[in-house]
Structure 1
Amino acid sequence: MALWKARKLSWSRLSGFLLVFALLTLRIVDPIFVERLRLQAFDQFQRLNPREIAPFPVAILDIDDRSLSEVGQWPWPRTTIAELTDRVFQEGAAAMAYDIVFSEPDRLSPNAIAADNPGISSEIRSQLMQLPSNDTVLAQSFSRNRVVLGETSVRSGLQASGVEREIQKVPHAIIGPDPRPYMLKFPELVQNLPILNEAAPGRGVFTVLPDADGIYRRVPIVMMVEGALRLSLSLELLRIATGGDAFAVRTNDAGIDGVVVAGQVIKTQGDGTVWTRFSASSSNRFVSAADLLQGKVPQNRLAGHLVLVGTSAIGLEDFRATPLGVPMAGVEIHAQLLENVLAGTLLKRENIADGKELLTAAAMTILVIALAPMLHAGVLIISTLVLVSAYGIYSYLMFLWQSQLVDPTFPIVATMLTVMLMSSTNYLREERRRNRIRNAFGQYVTPALVAQLADSMDALKLGGERRDLSVLFSDVRGFTTISEEFRDDPQGLTKLMNEMLTVMSEPILKSGGTIDKFMGDAVMAFWNAPLETKDHPRASCRAALEMVRAVEEFNRNRMANQVGKEPVHPIHMGVAVNSGPCFVGNMGSNSRFDYTALGDTVNVASRLEGQTKHYGMSIIIGERTAQIVDGEFALLELDLIRVKGKHEPERIFGLMGGERLAGSDEFKTLSATSAEMLTAYRTGQWQKALELIAAMERQAARLDLDLHDYCALFSGRIARQSELPEDPDWDGIFDASEK
């Protein structure tokens, strides 16, 4: 069976394989929207479980808003920077790095002041020119301390103009193949003043590039700038703090494998970047520069620390978007990188991670393609949800337990898209199967039943259910006379009957009814099966009224289109509706059966239809139907009748019209007169009953209602009853002797 399905559904699987091939190709190309989805999943992992804030020997000397307010606007004189540097090491810091570039001479140096102010006296100018420049003072501070200068990269146009510059080298070694083809390359280096550059023991690049969505997740710790290898600012700070030995770049066939600094290997991506695992921003990392200059820093606060100098001042705009969803000062990103290196908590993503995830996605989607045609939709959906949930949990646990970044998005999205495609092809296959059933059964049974059979082949089994239905029977009166018109034209009679039954059927179908069967010129229909109809008594009454109206319109058209001199006999019909419990389902033998309804409700409806001619009514409804629709339709109680085959009497009602007629004062008067007449009739007040019958005929005439036959029926009954001796058991119940 499974093999048959595999052969039969090869086109479905082929479409699945084509989709998988397209998805895998898309992942290899890795457009921005695919990458962004993956990165956002990694961000969500960090938000769910950010790195814990723990004490590390890393501090940020913060040029904050208070420092600018108390020390002065930026840039500060280089002598102030020198004082700041010296104080850091007086506090016992191991090393410090500036997330700042001093690329231009200090305009507040004595010689600059002398040159820019021609109005000062020559004596003062001479004295100023003899003083050392602020940059010299700062260089002297750098030369006696372990200081790392920050460098950055921008497009300044220096190379384009042919200016030759010397880039100071940082001692390094290479272990393995040449790493330069894999490294990030920055076009030009913005260096510090030569006097500062030569005095400082170290120099590192603080340029950090955001991902395509503007979020800073990865930091290059080794890179190429104008052909020179550079460490990032944080790693260079660590190198200088531990003695300033050369760093090493370790490579393999997949690219850069790691960087060796201070005797430890820091694993990297193939391009020399690392993924920072962020913790929330913490004020414990920061020391205000104003506090340091004013001697307010607690003792040992900076002792043994790696100090990064940067700014969190709002006006200096050094804030960056982070995976945690909140911006951080750029210097804090460098501090967090340094904490990750010291604690060994950097996030890891293998160089072959993309290949592994491609294989995982291929395996998951192929599994779906293999199983989908053989599983029911519910089982397929549940199985897929279990599969993708398990993979998502695995990805998150790898992040928690091993700090590994495993992309949950592409394999899950690829699997879900494959399931959607396979489900769609299954749906189309089922639709074709349903259409075959509709074509096979549509000419024999009702559209509603065909739809039910198409939805479930189980519906073809014998059996049924108990359900409340509204059952309608209709029949054409005087069909024999009509048949005589066509004694020499049987085709014409067939055409007339088909047209008439179509006219009678349309109101039933439009109101949601099911046509059970045609019995010559009669119709049986019911509501609330196989499809549920909550207001089925009202729907059946509306259909009955519309059937009578449609037949009257049909008669007018026949007469208007009359051909020849032969008279056209109008078609009259009787309709009965009864509501109540029935057994409905497929009834018959194993080889032939019908979807039909059985029960006392059906029998009573059939008997009531036979009484329509007797009572001179177009529509008669049973008591339960009347109780539900009373007030919404114009009803007249007709009689208390014991139909043939029944012991209990049934109160029957004439359905005279819709809500408009029911709400009119004239009909309310007629209804009251009718009720009073029945009371007089049932209590043996014959004369009063006759007077009320006469009043009913007058009132009905004003409403253009024909109650002549009904009134004549009761007048005849009263005439016969009044001639008989008084009967103490008289209860007014009529025993119908005919069906």
Structure 2
Amino acid sequence: MSGGNGGKIKVVTLWRARKFSWSRLSGFLLVFSLLTLRIVDPIFVERLRLQAFDQFQRLNPREIAPFPVAILDIDDRSLNEVGQWPWPRTVIADLTDRVFQAGAAAMAFDIVFSEPDRLSPGSIAADNPGISNELRSQLMQLPSNDAVLAQSFSRNRVVLGETSVRSGLQASGIERQIKQVPHAVIGSDPRPYLLKFPELIQNLPILNEAAPGRGVFTVLPDADGVYRRVPVVMMVEGAMRLSLSLELLRIATGGDAFAVRSNDAGIDGVVVAGQVIRTQGDGTVWTRFSASDPNRFVSAADLLQGRVPQNRLAGRLVLVGTSAIGLEDFRATPLGVPMAGVEIHAQLLENVLSGTLLRRDNIADGKELLITAAMTILVIALAPMLHAGVLIASTLLLVSAYGIYSYVMFLWQGQLVDPTFPIAATMLIVMFMSSTNYLREERRRNRIRNAFGQYVTPALVAQLAESREALQLGGERRDLSVLFSDVRGFTTISEEFSDDPQGLTKLMNEMLTVMSEPILNSGGTIDKFMGDAVMAFWNAPLETKDHPQAGCRAALEMVRAVEEFNRNRMANQTGNEPVHPIHMGVAVNSGPCFVGNMGSKSRFDYTVLGDTVNVASRLEGQTKHYGMSIIIGEKTARIVEGEFALLELDLIRVKGKHEPERIFGLMGGERLAATEEFKTLSVVGAEMLIAYRAGQWQKALEHIAEMERQASSLGLDLHGYCALFQKRIARLAELPEDPEWEGIYDASEK
């Protein structure tokens, strides 16, 4: 009785939902997009990463320690005492000689002397035509200031600074000789990986030839204008150069050739003074900054005036630069405080000497991509299995652990591990999955509402929508109460509308609505409509503890509602055609059933199967035979006894069953059951059945007559039932006495 082509509840199975999830597929597509974004690495992604690295340095800047590095500072006080910049080269020569007289190991200029000194004697003679010829001749015989400076450079370990700025020299077609710095290559050719600067601004040839070393002090900021990385080896106009700091270290340790070590991933390191300085793939290094320290600086004016303490520069690597405000050589740093450009070179040199350079592996981007993929895929895998709160808490724990790992790697190993993109991507994925889970939950609720909305009460639909466990997909064994109802004489009713099929459809819809509302109002589930018949059940998909009582109440209300429907039809009758009243039979039976989704993998009916269902169907078929509107099974009767007016009808063996079933007529509710008249009727009916089953035909007939009188006083119609037993007894009385007679009626029809 659970088959048919009536209304169906279609639900996607749990297996298919887990096998394939659009939210997970969307999540994987988002992960792929995020990984692609990280590979492209647009400016906003890079800035976020760099700002995280800056925050690490601000939280834990490098400790200031006494390193053999000093800055000879052309500060504002020096400009006030010596004069405006540029100073005569003779002053620079004096400054250089004093540095080495103070015991410095080597010095480097963060300055370029690219033009001749206009204060040289020859330049003064040429630029002042009013002086005497004798004085002009004497001036022309004196060495130039540049020559004086070159002599100072030639006798000291001096590194000249060079920079790369577009000067238009190449565009003008001027051919230049770039003096090479001795170097070697370890591994593959490093030139494809090195940063390339377009043009080299060199010092005057006389100075360039005199100085033992030359290094590039050009430092490029990141996209946000902050100076974090310094190229320590680079290509400038085809020549390989060290940075100013490393060239200073090379000259200070004897001036041996430096070496560049490279592999397939890029530059691996630079060997200077027998020390391997690990670099990024492009030959840059990450400087770990300390706060600006006044103890690094020695005023040039103090050195020129002999005010520098003894041994202040002894054994030091000296960098000459400026912190004067007017010369504007200040750079933004990760610490958030501008710093003189020369101090950035000094800090780089301190990093090299102390081994505190920050590191970011050449394959760091690849590692972080894998970490991002692992974290986001883990979230996608767990999202459908965890509640939103647990998922968010777990994700916060995961990203917090990764953030701590990133910071610990910075503190303990000086490794720069990006905390931002993996964390941001993971949080984006968890928000996306939480949103899709929410939308999926809403779709699930809507699906349940749509699936059950026409078959169960709205309150029950709301419970199903809120409770994931309430709907057991796949089926389960459960005690249910099953109801079958059918319209009697439907063929006759149909004949009334032989010329009006729309009218018949309208009548059926109205009638089925009348029959459905009591079921829905009592918390029942309509399994299906079968033409003019209805099948329903209670205690599934949600638990209903008093399901037998609910089924009985619904049956009584259905009978009452149909009677009211008939009265309304009679009252609204138009024309002369007779209106045939609608009569119905209802059966309720309780017991174990198998309830769930049954059908193919792509289409399901939420329905019930089992012996309880079959018996309920057979009992509904007997209502007309017994002249009853409602018949209930023995298990139902045992449970609701005392709460409803029940009258035992017979002991019947329905078609397809071997064991007999006691059946009861449901005559009314608790109010009728409590009346003395019905109690008397019930006793008389029981005595009638006892006499009938004992073969005491005459006594049984007397009780039948009494039953009709009692029922009439209560307004109950037992005429059909009593007439049935009178006919049976009349037929049985004519037969020979049967010793195996038990009073069981074998129903030959469904």
TM-score scaled to structure 2, two decimals? 0.60
SS at match of 1:274: strand
In structure 2, the partner of 1:306 is 317
SS at match of 1:161: coil
In structure 1, the partner of 2:546 is 589
In structure 1, the partner of 2:348 is 337
User: Which residue, 44, 50, 56 being the options, matches 1:45?
Assistant: 56
> Offset at 1:30?
1.1
Fraction of identical pairs, as percent: 87
SS at match of 1:132: coil
SS at match of 1:397: helix
Alpha-carbon distance between aligned partners in 1 of 2:362 and 2:255, rounded to the nearest angstrom: 29
Do the aligned partners of residues 438 and 264 (structure 1) sit closer, same or farther apart at CA in structure 2, a change above 3 Å counting?
same
In structure 2, the partner of 1:272 is 283
In structure 1, the partner of 2:23 is 12
Q: How is 1:148-547 mapped onto 2 (pairs within 5 angstroms)?
A: 148-439=159-450, 454-456=465-467
Alpha-carbon distance between aligned partners in 1 of 2:221 and 2:169, rounded to the nearest angstrom: 25
Alpha-carbon distance between aligned partners in 1 of 2:311 and 2:459, rounded to the nearest angstrom: 86
Q: How is 1:29-178 mapped onto 2 (pairs within 5 angstroms)?
A: 29-178=40-189
How far does the alpha carbon of each residue in 1:702-735 deviate from its partner, in whole angstroms, 9 at most, with x for none?
A: xxxxxxxxxxxxxxxxxxxxxxxxxxxxxxxxxx
Alpha-carbon distance between aligned partners in 2 of 1:90 and 1:286, rounded to the nearest angstrom: 18
SS at match of 1:256: strand
In structure 2, the partner of 1:526 is none
SS at match of 2:112: coil
In structure 2, the partner of 1:645 is none
Do the aligned partners of residues 144 and 18 (structure 1) sit closer, same or farther apart at CA in structure 2, a change above 3 Å counting?
same
Do the aligned partners of residues 396 and 5 (structure 1) sit closer, same or farther apart at CA in structure 2, a change above 3 Å counting?
farther
Alpha-carbon distance between aligned partners in 1 of 2:420 and 2:550, rounded to the nearest angstrom: 54
User: Residue type of the partner of 1:391?
Assistant: Y
Do the aligned partners of residues 96 and 423 (structure 1) sit closer, same or farther apart at CA in structure 2, a change above 3 Å counting?
same
Alpha-carbon distance between aligned partners in 2 of 1:33 and 1:169, rounded to the nearest angstrom: 39
SS at match of 1:102: coil
> Offset at 1:592?
8.6
> Offset at 1:157?
1.5
TM-score scaled to structure 1, two decimals? 0.61
Alpha-carbon distance between aligned partners in 2 of 1:593 and 1:217, rounded to the nearest angstrom: 77
Do the aligned partners of residues 14 and 440 (structure 1) sit closer, same or farther apart at CA in structure 2, a change above 3 Å counting?
closer
Q: How is 1:547-558 mapped onto 2 (pairs within 5 angstroms)?
A: none
> Offset at 1:590?
5.2
SS at match of 1:301: coil
User: Residue type of the partner of 1:95?
Assistant: A
SS at match of 2:26: helix
Which one scores higher on RCO, CA 8 angstroms, separation ≥ 6? Answer: 2
In structure 2, the partner of 1:544 is none
User: Residue type of the partner of 1:359?
Assistant: L
CA contact (8 A) 1:153 1:207 kept: yes
Alpha-carbon distance between aligned partners in 2 of 1:3 and 1:173, rounded to the nearest angstrom: 67
Do the aligned partners of residues 140 and 387 (structure 1) sit closer, same or farther apart at CA in structure 2, a change above 3 Å counting?
same
How far does the alpha carbon of each residue in 1:246-274 deviate from its partner, in whole angstroms, 9 at most, with x for none?
A: 00011111111100000110001111000
Alpha-carbon distance between aligned partners in 1 of 2:254 and 2:53, rounded to the nearest angstrom: 36
User: Residue type of the partner of 2:191?
Assistant: R
How much is the aligned-residue C-alpha RMSD, in angstroms? Answer: 3.0
Alpha-carbon distance between aligned partners in 2 of 1:300 and 1:72, rounded to the nearest angstrom: 27
Alpha-carbon distance between aligned partners in 2 of 1:311 and 1:445, rounded to the nearest angstrom: 86
Alpha-carbon distance between aligned partners in 2 of 1:593 and 1:57, rounded to the nearest angstrom: 94
In structure 2, the partner of 1:627 is none
> Offset at 1:436?
3.5
> Offset at 1:410?
1.5
How far does the alpha carbon of each residue in 1:47-97 deviate from its partner, in whole angstroms, 9 at most, with x for none?
A: 111100000000000111111111111101111101110111111000000
Unaligned runs of 5+ residues in structure 2 are 1-11, 472-505, 511-520, 523-542, 552-750
SS at match of 2:269: strand
Alpha-carbon distance between aligned partners in 2 of 1:126 and 1:157, rounded to the nearest angstrom: 36
Alpha-carbon distance between aligned partners in 2 of 1:302 and 1:79, rounded to the nearest angstrom: 21
SS at match of 1:150: strand
Larger radius of gyration: 2
SS at match of 1:369: helix
> Offset at 1:454?
3.9
CA contact (8 A) 1:9 1:373 kept: no
Alpha-carbon distance between aligned partners in 2 of 1:69 and 1:225, rounded to the nearest angstrom: 36
> Offset at 1:8?
5.1
> Offset at 1:290?
0.8
SS at match of 2:393: helix
How far does the alpha carbon of each residue in 1:354-376 deviate from its partner, in whole angstroms, 9 at most, with x for none?
A: 11111111111111111111111
User: Residue type of the partner of 2:546?
Assistant: S
Do the aligned partners of residues 328 and 174 (structure 1) sit closer, same or farther apart at CA in structure 2, a change above 3 Å counting?
same
Do the aligned partners of residues 593 and 423 (structure 1) sit closer, same or farther apart at CA in structure 2, a change above 3 Å counting?
farther
User: Residue type of the partner of 1:390?
Assistant: A
> Offset at 1:415?
1.2
Alpha-carbon distance between aligned partners in 2 of 1:9 and 1:179, rounded to the nearest angstrom: 50
CA contact (8 A) 1:5 1:373 kept: no
Alpha-carbon distance between aligned partners in 2 of 1:441 and 1:132, rounded to the nearest angstrom: 106
> Offset at 1:188?
0.6
SS at match of 2:428: helix
SS at match of 1:170: coil
Do the aligned partners of residues 590 and 33 (structure 1) sit closer, same or farther apart at CA in structure 2, a change above 3 Å counting?
farther
Alpha-carbon distance between aligned partners in 2 of 1:30 and 1:149, rounded to the nearest angstrom: 37
Do the aligned partners of residues 4 and 441 (structure 1) sit closer, same or farther apart at CA in structure 2, a change above 3 Å counting?
closer
Aligned residues: 479
SS at match of 2:320: strand
> Offset at 1:10?
2.1
> Offset at 1:378?
1.0
Alpha-carbon distance between aligned partners in 2 of 1:5 and 1:73, rounded to the nearest angstrom: 83
Do the aligned partners of residues 374 and 459 (structure 1) sit closer, same or farther apart at CA in structure 2, a change above 3 Å counting?
closer
Do the aligned partners of residues 193 and 447 (structure 1) sit closer, same or farther apart at CA in structure 2, a change above 3 Å counting?
farther
> Offset at 1:435?
2.1
SS at match of 1:21: helix
> Offset at 1:379?
1.1
User: Residue type of the partner of 2:161?
Assistant: G
